Amino acid sequence: MKRVVCPGSFDPITFGHLDIIERASSLFDEVVIAVLVNHTKQTLFTVSERIEMIQEVTSKYSNVKVDSWSGLLVDYCKANEIGAIIKGLRAVTDFDYELQMSQINFQLQNIETLFMSTAPSHSFISSSLVKEVASYDGDVSSYLPAPTLIRLKARLAETKKK
Ligand code: PNS
């Protein structure tokens, strides 16, 4: 079985992520979306909330599953018989760091990294930008699936009350 992992923070999932996931699901037998557990990084949503939000918008793809991991991504890949990592590349600015990561991941455990060009319509979307715009009540409805947008608005409203 050809299995690929799509790793990230997904805080929250955007149409940019979904585009890569959808295209990967047509190329591989199974796509595992792996949500990074990183206790040093402050996130708006907990890992279980992020998993739920991803499941909500990927349930129509029968070969997509969602999981979380902490530690080295390559160790997760080995433990789960995953031979490759798939990443979306939005712009050349993404490339330097992604290249370094792909090289170290190959050196560590022979795990391949495949880069997929993000659709031009999504190339400027990032979870961080979306959160920033939404925090100032900007319209982010074209960057996020509807259920994710509802949760984002609710979370930001809760945060403002505190
Ligand atoms: O969505 P993000 O935050 O840009 O995703 C980055 C991520 C989680 C894919 C990357 O930081 C990662 O793979 N971290 C796991 C730790 C690891 O394996 N490090 C060694 C390679 S740099």
Token pair belonging to 145: 């699936």
CA-nearest residue, atom 14 of ligand 1: 73
> Are β-strands 84-89 and 112-117 bridged in parallel, bridged antiparallel, or unpaired?
parallel
Which residue among the candidates 87, 127, 131, 151 is catalytic per the annotation?
127
The yes-or-no verdict on residue 161 having pLDDT over 90 is no
pLDDT at 160: 86
Task: Return all residues near 133 (Cβ < 8 A) that are at least 6 apart.
Answer: 139, 140
Evaluate: CB of 33 within 6 angstroms of ligand 1: no
Calculate the CA 115 to chain-centre distance: 14
> In this structure, what token pair is assigned to residue 82?
């995953």
Instruction: Report the distance separating Cα 153 and Cα 78, nearest Å.
Output: 37
Residue nearest to atom 3 of ligand 1 (CA): 9
Query: Among this protein's residues, is 17 annotated catalytic?
Result: yes
Active site residue 122: no
* pLDDT score for 162: 78
Structure tokens at 21: 């996931």
d(CA 161, ligand 1 centre) in Å: 32
Q: Where are the domains of the chain?
A: 3-123
Q: Is residue 53 packed enough to be buried (19+ CB in 10 Å), middle (13-18) or exposed (0-12)?
A: buried
60 catalytic? Reply is no
Q: Provide the CA 83 distance to its chain's centre, in angstroms.
A: 18
| Shortest-distance Cα residue to atom 12 of ligand 1 | 73
Separation between Cα atoms, residue 52 and residue 75, nearest integer Å: 24
Residues 90-125 pLDDT 10s: 988 889 999 999 999 999 999 999 999 999 999 999
For the record, the structure tokens of 141 come out as 């409805």
Q: What is the pLDDT of residues 33-84, one digit of tens each?
A: 999 998 898 999 999 999 999 999 999 999 999 999 999 999 999 999 999 9
What is the pLDDT, as a whole number, of residue 48? 97
Examine residue 7 and say whether the peptide bond preceding it is cis (omega within 30 degrees of 0). Answer: no
The yes-or-no verdict on residue 127 having pLDDT over 90 is: yes
Q: What is the pTM of this model?
A: 0.95
From CA 28, how far away is CA 84, in angstroms rounded? 10
Fold that domain 3-123 belongs to in CATH:
Rossmann fold (3.40.50)
Convert the pLDDT of each residue in 131-149 to its tens digit: 999 999 999 999 999 999 9
At 60 the pLDDT is 96
Task: Return the ligand 1 atom nearest residue 9 CA.
Answer: 1
Whole-number Å distance, alpha carbon 38 to ligand 1 midpoint, is 9
